[in-house]
Copies of this chain bind each other. A is one copy, B any other.
Amino acid sequence: MFESAEIGHKLGKKEFDREEPKLRRALLDAQYDLLEQARFPVIILVNGVDGAGKGETVNLFNEWMDPRHIHTHAFGGSTDAERQRPEMWRFWRALPPKGRIGILFGSWYTDPILQRVMESESAAEFNERLARIRDHERMLVAEGALIVKLWFHLSKDAQKKRLKELSAKKKTAWRVTKEDWKHFKRYDEFVGVCEHALKETSTGEAPWNVIEGSDHEYRSLTAGRLLLDALQRRLKNPAAPPVSREPLPQPAIDQRDVLNTADYKRKLTREDYSRKLDKLQGELSLLTRHKKMRERSLVMVFEGMDAAGKGSTIRRITRAMDARFYHIVPIAAPSDEERAHPYLWRFWRHVPPHGHAVIFDRSWYGRVLVERVEKFCAEGDWMRAYHEINEFEEQLASGGAIVAKFWLAISPDEQLRRFKERAKIPHKQFKITDEDWRNRKKWPQYERAVADMIDRTSTGIAPWNVIASNDKPWARVETLKRLVETLERAL
């Protein structure tokens, strides 16, 4: 879930200075509309890793808007009065009334995450608390609240750098506490627990927005724009049903995302290719026949833009497998029967038993890709799909499946080259249709949908593997390598 927040988002000072006054004015306007309408309250949850700029952002919000109508609450350890009442009492007291903005800094997420990291609560207890949070937020939304959930993230290196920077300067050294360094030592654990919390509580009606925190300019404008967009959308339709109230995912303000920052220059020579391919196929073949595989299953997902090379990559994998071991399920338009069932039904029916594998050539991600871009389903439907998909994969994993997901990424230029090549070669012409050209025109929309998909569905139990695929040999070897690694870790 943190992929997009570790690619080094950055914004120039110049661009910031140009954009900030506009954003500020728009936010203030929205705040006054909100106040005047007094139709719904706005709850902003600010969470994330230490040093990622949570405090700075909250200060900025108060600077940009009229602070008299913003209530900022920082929740630390609980007071006596709080300890003597149910856990949620202090948060109920902090809820803003209609027309106002409440910023909850360290919210109902802080304690469950901390307890889990410190291992004073079991996984089941943690999940139970997260489920209650899900219900709590659902209730707030049903009661009319607009909830904007901001998560500020730093990669491990970035956090280290940031803490060191702050410590080095006299003016800021006080801000870095022993606690911060203690937490840093448990970074991996901490981020793993947070990722799980985000996955379990990012719902259609109250999704998380992860913001990379290292660059002041990028972070501030991104947070401000997210808030502005959520406010404006809701103000237009203050009585909207819960399904369309959520802030939509935004494209990154510096235009960088997991796709356009992938390294497309990687290449393999023919020689290296065939040597590595042989070796990896041998390893894969052994792993699929591993004793432990009898108690596990393997679910592979291949997605990618048209002509990214899904088919040929899949063939390199299946060649290493016994035909009795796997099935390939190509996903195209649903059948009548499939259309008559809930969305995920058509994928559930292909879930493999232990000792078997299924390769999905396109998959359940269609809902948040093609169905989103082509508007085949309503906004509320694809927004809730992220949570439902995560839940589905969680169930696969607890049922013993190893889930391996691959996004084969190519650059727009490379796609064009391949389209033209296909059009020229007679036996490849069938592979290029008018639809491919139509889809290509929507590249920016698809790219945005892919970035959101990876942000919202790349989880500890089922991470996305983004494979730069401009060079086919490199892509095939890299995919095989990642698959072999995934199996080795799991078995």
A residues near B, CB below 8 A?
A: 38, 41, 81, 84-89, 92-93, 95, 97-99, 122, 124-125, 127-128, 131-132, 134-136, 139-140, 142-145, 241, 243, 297, 337, 340-345, 348-349, 351-355, 381, 384, 387-388, 391, 395-396, 398-401
Contact = CB atoms under 8 A, between A and B. Distances in A.
Contacts of A399: 85-87, 89
A134 B131 contact: yes
Contact of A353 (B85, B95, B145, B391): B85
A139 B388 contact: yes
B93 A349 contact: yes
A340 B97 contact: yes
A466 to B, nearest CB: 26
Contact of A142 (B92, B93, B381, B396): B381
Given A99-B340, A124-B122, A340-B41, A351 B145 contact: no
A374 to B, nearest CB: 19
A145 B344 CA distance: 13
Contacts of A142: 381, 384
A40 to B, nearest CB: 10
Nearest to A128: B127
Contacts of A84: 297, 353-355, 400
Most chain B beta-carbon neighbours within 10 Å: one of A136, A140, A342, A352: A342
A86 B351 contact: yes
Contacts of A122: 122, 124
Contacts of A400: 84
Contacts of A124: 122, 124-125, 127-128
Contacts of A81: 353
22 contacts: A38-B340, A41-B340, A84-B354, A85-B399, A87-B395, A87-B398, A89-B351, A92-B344, A93-B348, A97-B340, A99-B340, A122-B124, A124-B124, A124-B125, A128-B128, A128-B131, A131-B131, A131-B134, A135-B387, A140-B342, A143-B342, A145-B342
Given A93-B349, A124-B124, 11 more contacts: A81-B353, A84-B354, A85-B351, A88-B395, A89-B348, A98-B340, A122-B122, A127-B128, A131-B132, A139-B344, A241-B243
A218 to B, nearest CB: 34
Given A84-B297, A124-B124, A340-B99, A92 B41 contact: no
Contacts of A340: 38, 41, 97-99
A396 B86 contact: yes
Contacts of A87: 395, 398-399
A473 to B, nearest CB: 36
Nearest to A342: B143
A81 to B, nearest CB: 6
A458 to B, nearest CB: 20
Nearest to A91: B348
A212 to B, nearest CB: 29
A134 B345 CA distance: 18
A122 B127 CA distance: 13
Nearest to A340: B97
A348 B92 contact: yes
Contacts of A134: 131, 135
A343 B398 CA distance: 38
A351 B81 CA distance: 11
A429 B348 CA distance: 67
A86 B128 contact: no
Contacts of A349: 92-93
Contacts of A139: 342, 344, 384, 388, 391
A41 B353 contact: no
A391 B132 contact: yes
A98 B144 CA distance: 32
A146 to B, nearest CB: 12
A391 B136 CA distance: 9
Given A131-B127, A241-B241, A401 B86 contact: yes
A99 B341 CA distance: 10
A70 to B, nearest CB: 16
Most buried by B among A84, A143, A344: A84
Contacts of A391: 132, 135-136, 139
Given A85-B399, A87-B399, A341 B41 contact: yes
A246 to B, nearest CB: 14
Contacts of A88: 348, 395
